[in-house]
Amino acid sequence: MTACACDVCPPQGLSPIADVLDQLRHEAEKLPRTEVITLPLLAACGSVLACHVLAQVTVPPADNSAMDGYAVNSAQCVDGALLPVSQRIAAGQAGTPLASGSCARIFTGAPIPLGADAVIAQEQVELLADGRVRLPAVQPGSHIRRAGEDAQVGHVLKRAGERLRPADLGLLASCGVAEVLVYRRLRVAVISTGDELREPWQPLSAGQLYNSNKYVLLSQLDELGFDAFDAGTLDDDYQRTCERLEELAGQFDLLITTGGVSVGEEDHVKAAVDHLGQLLLWKLAIKPGKPLAFGYACGTPIMALPGNPVAAAVTFLLVVVPWLRWRQGEHYQLPTPQWLPASFSWRAGPRREYLRVRSEQAGLARYANQGSGVLSSMSWADGLAYVEPDSQIQAGDALPYFSFAQLLA
Ligand SMILES: Nc1nc2c(c(=O)[nH]1)N[C@H]1C(S)=C(S)[C@@H](COP(=O)(O)OP(=O)(O)OC[C@H]3O[C@@H](n4cnc5c(N)ncnc54)[C@H](O)[C@@H]3O)O[C@H]1N2
Ligand code: MOO
């Protein structure tokens, strides 16, 4: 007999999310990586490095000034010293060795001339009519940026398995790296299911509603740097579902469906995956998101997300994103939650409950309606906090909280 998985019966047959993520990591990492390609830096943001990147030059290449001011030999610079200005060095110029008993006018980024060991900011200097300057005493090394303090030629800047962020691209550019070897981005198809779904520009008839899931998923995939494709909407029809999944399987690295994965007579996705390949996983002990399924259709991984919009969005963040990142070759560690006090009380049922919350000065506030169809809760919230199964929390209790930014970082 199959175990019942409703909210009333005990949750036999529902997998804890930690076990599911372990299993999914294993599934993702056993597949061969996508092809290694060369990309120019500006096309590589969000891509995962296929090999280490080494600095091509030392940065900065020479000791240079951190201020607009005067380069001096600190030993010759007692408080109130009057020195002539023997040269002017701007960024991009080389300068000449500092004449003894003089100082050099210098600008931010310009190389420190031989013989100078400190820079005095121009605000601290008095310019005399005869061209000399009155200087305060200065510590050796003041306002000097050291050669190589940022990067040294030949050193590893970024390692294989790291995902490139905008700041990384800047670092690589500063070190003379113009292109990188990365894994081809995963191609992901988003397939909506449900006779009732319409697009927001279409009129609605009785019983119909607008497809919101695909807007969340496609834009989130895009933002994360995956190649996302809208594979349209499937009617609730078993035969057609099998045909469409088979058709898409060879063309993508992952198929994501939403809806049709629960226990109703119109829910055909699970049966179709069973028919086309192998269903490895169905039902998580989390709310929202219980009926999530994972398997292979004609050899292609498929994540079947629940249709309820909050359930689809939450399972995408908690389960699909980690799988995609492991599959993409990223050395990805699951985020650890922050513990923050709740400003509400809550009683959780038999599944771990992920609440849509906002982190505020007074603690975590929750959206009033936590229904898994209430998408305003996701749009309002800045993260998720969870309450363990069958537990009661009171205002003031600390809850584990993930900001959306953290889940997507
Ligand atoms: N008897 C039971 N019924 C249900 C159970 C259960 O255990 N026993 N589980 C419930 C849970 S939990 C969830 S979550 C939902 C998930 O069901 P499905 O994945 O089969 O989703 P659908 O029935 O197709 O749709 C559910 C709901 O979401 C709307 N929907 C679907 N797709 C979209 C979309 N792309 N954009 C916006 N809204 C969408 C759909 O119209 C339905 O209202 O099952 C419970 N039932
Ligand atoms: O898992 Mo369902 O998402 O509780 O509504």
How far apart (Å, rounded) are the C-alpha atoms in residues 20 and 24? 6
Cα-to-centroid distance, 308 and ligand 1 (Å): 5
Q: CATH number of 17-34+185-327: 3.60.20.10, 3.40.980.10, 3.30.1240.10, 1.20.1560.10?
A: 3.40.980.10
Q: What is the pLDDT of residue 24?
A: 98
| Helix 238-249 with 269-276: angle, nearest 10 deg | 50
Predicted-complex ipTM score: 0.98
Q: Distance between CA 310 and CA 255 in Å, rounded?
A: 19
DSSP reduced 3-state for 277: strand
Distance 43 CA to ligand 1 centre (A): 38
* Ligand 1 nearest atom to the CA of residue 193, by list position: 32
pLDDT in tens for each of the 409 residues of the chain? 344 445 544 456 899 999 999 999 999 999 999 999 999 999 999 999 999 999 999 999 999 999 999 999 999 999 999 999 999 999 999 999 999 999 999 999 999 999 999 999 999 999 999 999 999 999 999 999 999 999 999 999 999 999 999 999 999 999 999 999 999 999 999 999 999 999 999 999 999 999 999 999 999 999 999 999 999 999 999 999 999 999 999 999 999 999 999 888 888 999 999 999 999 999 999 999 999 999 999 999 999 999 999 999 999 999 999 999 999 999 999 999 999 999 999 999 999 999 999 999 999 999 999 999 999 999 999 999 999 999 999 999 999 999 999 999 9
CA of 312 to the centre of ligand 2 (A): 9
Residues with CB under 6 A from ligand 1: 5-6, 192, 194, 196-197, 209, 211-214, 258-264, 267, 288, 290-291, 306-309, 311, 372-373
CA of 257 to the centre of ligand 1 (A): 12
Per the rule left: phi > 0, alpha: psi between -120 and 50, beta: everything else, 92 is left
Ligand 2 mutation target, pool 305, 372, 377, 387, most atoms within 8 A of CB: 372
SS3 128: coil
**Chain center to CA of 230:** 22
Q: Give residue 217's pLDDT.
A: 98
H helix intervals, 131-284: 166-174, 213-223, 238-249, 269-276
Rounded-to-integer distance, Cα 157 and Cα 177, Å: 10
Calpha distance 359→191 (Å, rounded): 33
CB 189 within 8 A of CB 251: yes
Domain boundaries, the chain: 17-34+185-327, 37-58+150-183, 64-140, 338-408
Are the beta carbons of 117 and 144 closer than 8 angstroms? yes
Pairing of strands 179-183, 85-89: unpaired
CATH number for the domain formed by residue range(s) 338-408: 2.40.340.10
- Residue 6 Cα to ligand 1 midpoint, Å, equals 13
Q: What is the pLDDT at residue 12?
A: 64
What class, spelled out in words, does domain 37-58+150-183 have in CATH? Answer: alpha beta
Report yes or no: 63 and 145 within 8 Å, Cβ to Cβ: yes
- Residue closest to 317 by CA, chosen among 262, 383, 372, 270: 383
Neighbours of 285 (CB within 10 A): 21
Residue nearest to atom 2 of ligand 2 (CA): 288
Atom of ligand 1 nearest to the CA of 311: 14
Alpha carbon of 260 to ligand 1 centroid (Å) = 7
User: Do the beta carbons of residue 190 and residue 256 sit within 8 Å?
Assistant: yes
Could you tell me which CATH number the domain at 64-140 has? 2.170.190.11
**Maximum Cα–Cα distance for the chain, whole Å?**
100
> In what helix (H) or strand (E) does residue 229 lie, and over which residues does it extend?
strand 227-234
CA of 227 to the centre of ligand 2 (A): 28
Ligand 2 within 6 A of CB of 11:
no
Using most ligand atoms within 8 A of CB, pick from 263, 284, 290, 319 the residue to mutate for ligand 2.
Answer: 290
Q: Is 287 in the pocket of ligand 2 (CB under 6 A)?
A: yes
